[in-house]
Structure 1
């Protein structure tokens, strides 16, 4: 089993996390922000990773620090759980529909952090109490600490809840593919350089 646990304590947040990449999608998440909890539950369920998360943040200010720091800790935990990355598929891609919304997510577990987060020109609506900019901050924190390439593009959508949900589910499915073990590549790194 590929497991990891991480903790982060700052003047703004206190976060403890345990995860199992080879789980069944069980989640026990408590961040103090119900909508964010819902998104993290979806991420765990659709990636099939088991996730236990306790987070306290300065939500009286806003959700930014909590969302960003959870992304940081999740990225670190996944990176640690992946270990030496031998045998992983490395790449994952998802087109995720959520009613009127369609989002494309592409991931490379390359050890080279890069984030592209794109929305249609003219912008998109926010989910209640969860601005779309928080989705982007979560993606940036996750990718920088997982050390992956992450490309997220909301192709279209009208409902802020559906847009956020399609982003988190899309990340989950891309991660599930990229982190999967390919039995034909057991013990080898998916790189001609010999390292990731």
Structure 2
């Protein structure tokens, strides 16, 4: 497998033992022997017996949260996957400082990654500083701004892009590159990521 590819799996948190079920950690379904990173999608447990095991919802469309289930227990179960050979690292997503402060004293393995929404309009400096102090790498999703958000059309972004002769997308991507963060695109950004927007080069 080329090391230019970093296979990542993400799991919506359901029943604490459910996260480790074979059907949810199956690298072979991807044509792989293992995945490099397995993430907990949200620090909240969801009903494993709902109509959609991937993202359970109540009939009214509200997420089917299962009370009494802890994301901390799920993380402890995920740690066990490290001994199976199917997963090389485990991480979390959408975790604030408070969630991480509650998790770390009980975790045997510090999450390798915390994937959060991050862009110039939502910098989350407190999470950045905390993760840096604990050796947790940050990955930014929605690096070009929230869905339908105004980031790309802001005058400041447009002016910086014009000054450097690049697209508006290059401005927030440069923001992430200079901070040495990884970032990932959502499907709605696929046309932008396919173009390979260049970062702004500092002098």
User: So what's the TM-score if we normalise by structure 1?
Assistant: 0.26
Task: Point out the structure with max Rg over C-alpha.
Answer: 2
Structure with the higher fraction of residues in strand conformation? 1
User: So what's the TM-score if we normalise by structure 2?
Assistant: 0.25
- Of structures 1 and 2, the one scoring higher in RCO (CA 8 A, sep 6+) is 1
